[in-house]
Structure 1
Amino acid sequence: MAADVSPEPVATFCGDCDCGCPQLFVDPHAPADKRVRITADFGQQVQMSEEQFADLVAQAKSGALDRLTVTSV
Structure 2
Amino acid sequence: MSDINGLEPLATICGDCDCGCPQLFVDPSAPAERRVLLTDDFGQRVQMSVDQFASLVEEATAGKLDGIAVA
Measured after TM superposition, the shift of residue 13 of structure 1 is 0.8
Q: Distance in 2 between matches of 1:70 and 1:61?
A: 19
Q: Which one scores higher on RCO, CA 8 angstroms, separation ≥ 6?
A: 2
Residues 38-49 of structure 1 aligned to structure 2 (within 5 Å): 38-49=38-49
Moved more, 61-70 or 44-53: 61-70
Measured after TM superposition, the shift of residue 19 of structure 1 is 1.1
Aligned-residue RMSD, C-alpha: 1.3
Structure 1 stretches of 4+ with a deviation exceeding 6 A read none
Name the TM-score, length of structure 1 as normaliser: 0.86
Partner SS, residue 67 of structure 2: helix
Unaligned runs of 5+ in 1: none
Q: Distance in 1 between matches of 2:60 and 2:19?
A: 26
Offset from partner CA, 1:27-61 (integer Å, 9 cap, x none) = 11100000000001010000000000000000000
Aligned position for 2:37: 37
Partner SS, residue 47 of structure 2: strand
Q: Higher helix proportion, which one?
A: 1
Number of residue equivalences: 67
Q: Distance in 1 between matches of 2:51 and 2:63?
A: 19
Q: Distance in 1 between matches of 2:13 and 2:38?
A: 10
Q: Distance in 1 between matches of 2:57 and 2:70?
A: 18
Q: Distance in 2 between matches of 1:19 and 1:70?
A: 18
Seq. identity, %? 64
